[in-house]
Structure 1
Amino acid sequence: MAQCVTPELQAWIVQQARAGCTPESVLQAMLKAGWQESVALDAMEHALQTYLGAAEAPAAARPYLDLSASPRAIDLGDRVVTVHVSLRRPRLAVLGGLLSDDECEALIQAAEPRLKRSRTVQISTGGEELSADRTSDGMFFRRGESPLVQRIEARISRLVHWPVENAEGLQVLRYRPGTEYKPHYDYFDPCAPGTARILERGGQRVATVLIYLNEPLRGGGTTFPDVGLEVMPQRGHAVFFAYDRPEPSTQTLHGGARVLAGEKWVATKWLREREFTA
């Protein structure tokens, strides 16, 4: 049976938000009351946008893009970013021109001498390990390491309404032909024994900004299997996706498809709940 979202329910959601309740606690209360999760999430998003305004409600809890007026472009002051695709679930947008060609090339040149085989989080200890699921080479810039990195970090912060310090350092990855990153989630598994150690440095990851620095000849798209979406790399373009809780129901399972010809270069910015400490 279809569940109907009433004005009374929306008003109740707003009351909880104004009282300081977290989105997760409101969602759990609705689930216990018998609401379907998809209906509850839609009701929460609609209520907060309608009653509080899209620019007010999400900012207090999670990074977000203000797409409430269906803009074709977002002016970030130093650059105008175009909006190509927007999804509500997962909360995802494909953006054009986040970086200029010169900025992309400068990042590649700065990163290349420091590349090493990419590692993944070791879930049992909170450390790192090599994984057959991830066969790229990568490196991290320290937050604010150079004027170029500072400019990009400040631009991302304005884009998603999230403090620069609430993010990990910018990571640059190179995928050669035959390399890939199999589908995975960016958040840390709450049930894994090493997660508590990881969260000490800034809490959970809550959103990802993935930027394409070049265009491979074939392959190398970013796939979202839960929704049947594949984003093909285009230099300077980016994919933003957010996950308001560390659960598969966010539908943020994603992967880097195998590069079939040429190289793929990407930069990734992971956003945390709190200030991230190196």
Structure 2
Amino acid sequence: MSQQSITPELRQWVAEQIRLGHLPEAVIEAMVQAGWKEDLATSALDGALQTRRARAPNSAALAAGPASGAGERMPGLDLTQSPRRIDAGDRWVDVIATLGLPRVVLLGGLLSAEECDALVEAARPRLARSLTVETRTGGEELNPDRTSHGMFFNRGEGELVTRIEQRIARLLRWPLENGEGIQVLQYRPGAEYKPHYDYFDPVEPGTPTILKRGGQRVATLLMYLNEPTRGGGTIFPDVGLEVAPVRGNAVFFSYDRPHPATRTLHGGAPVIEGEKWVATKWLREREFV
């Protein structure tokens, strides 16, 4: 294979592997073992993913296998014309960077400094040790992997929360009622959230109970409310990405199926100095009740 090229047959084979839900790393490894050069294998995979996204009605749809039940439509920004800024209704939001797989978009200026401060002050009196969803039972539990303190606002709780939720719904083109309430978290020095997935594991016995409230989670929007002096970045280990916490900025990522193939493993790195405040908005397939 001294003269290798990406043939239509190769593209078709790669597209079929993606459709079947094989991990991108596994597809590349299989090609390399068959004698293809790694850079060519990577290019073939990227091309197949781009083609799949272009054919989807929403450019933010992931390309790693069949949808999770939300159909082909997924929450996401309209990035078809590679805009630098997007109109979110009452505010223009900057598009700083995008990543194809996982589908990650870094946003600038989603929240004003005043909105960040107001969320922190409204949340502070209601903070408690953060819990995680217990997928074995459908309830909640303390988890040593998550050492933050937090609280939830009810959806539509007050003018500030309502304004931000409406902005998010327009920006991500997803029904407001399909969003969970905004969660605000405080990470003190040493606090972290070890890498995890936000979707609910389908094999766990408690997941059917959780899904009754609105189906699977399909996307996450993480908003930074302040800036720790050191540490506290949002990490995506599968792709070696770390997003610095900058006040008012946000990182959006989506996952069209509850499977590691989405490469949405992520975590909150330990805060080394200072403290970190973030607000999280999870989006569901259907109306969250």
What is the TM-score normalised by the length of structure 1? 0.84
CA distance in 1 between counterparts of 2:191 and 2:77 reads 31
Paired positions, count:
254
Pairs within 5 Å for 1:172-183: 172-183=184-195
Aligned-pair RMSD on alpha carbons? 2.7
Deviations 1:13-55 (A, max 9, x none): 9xxxxxxxxxxxx934x97xxxx5957544321223xxx6859
CA distance in 2 between counterparts of 1:128 and 1:222 reads 23
Identity among equivalent pairs (%): 62
Check conservation: 2:60, 2:103, Cα contact below 8 A: no
Tell me the SS of whatever aligns to 1:71. coil
CA distance in 2 between counterparts of 1:55 and 1:233 reads 23
Pairs within 5 Å for 1:140-179: 140-179=152-191
* C-alpha deviation, 1:5, in angstroms: 5.6
Check conservation: 1:167, 1:272, Cα contact below 8 A: yes
Pairs within 5 Å for 1:31-180: 38=45, 41-48=49-56, 54=59, 61-180=73-192
Match of 2:273 in 1: 261
Check conservation: 1:27, 1:41, Cα contact below 8 A: no
CA distance in 1 between counterparts of 2:224 and 2:7 reads 41
Paired residue type of 2:19? L
> Which sections of structure 2, spanning at least 5 residues, go unmatched?
29-44, 62-69
Change (3 A) 1:224 1:268: same
Tell me the SS of whatever aligns to 1:165. helix
Deviations 1:78-98 (A, max 9, x none): 111111110011100100000
Tell me the SS of whatever aligns to 1:70. coil
Change (3 A) 1:53 1:254: closer
Check conservation: 2:58, 2:78, Cα contact below 8 A: no
* C-alpha deviation, 1:3, in angstroms: 6.6
Deviations 1:127-174 (A, max 9, x none): 000010000000000000111000000000011100000010000000
Match of 2:67 in 1: none
Q: Which runs of 4+ in 1 moved over 6 A?
A: none
Paired residue type of 1:120? T
What is the TM-score normalised by the length of structure 2? 0.81
Change (3 A) 1:144 1:162: same
Tell me the SS of whatever aligns to 2:107. strand
* C-alpha deviation, 1:259, in angstroms: 0.2
* C-alpha deviation, 1:2, in angstroms: 7.5
Match of 1:27 in 2: 19
Larger CA deviation: 59-68 vs 36-45 = 36-45
CA distance in 2 between counterparts of 1:199 and 1:5 reads 40
Are 1:250 and 2:262 an aligned pair?
Answer: yes
Deviations 1:205-228 (A, max 9, x none): 000000000000110000000000
Check conservation: 1:85, 1:94, Cα contact below 8 A: yes
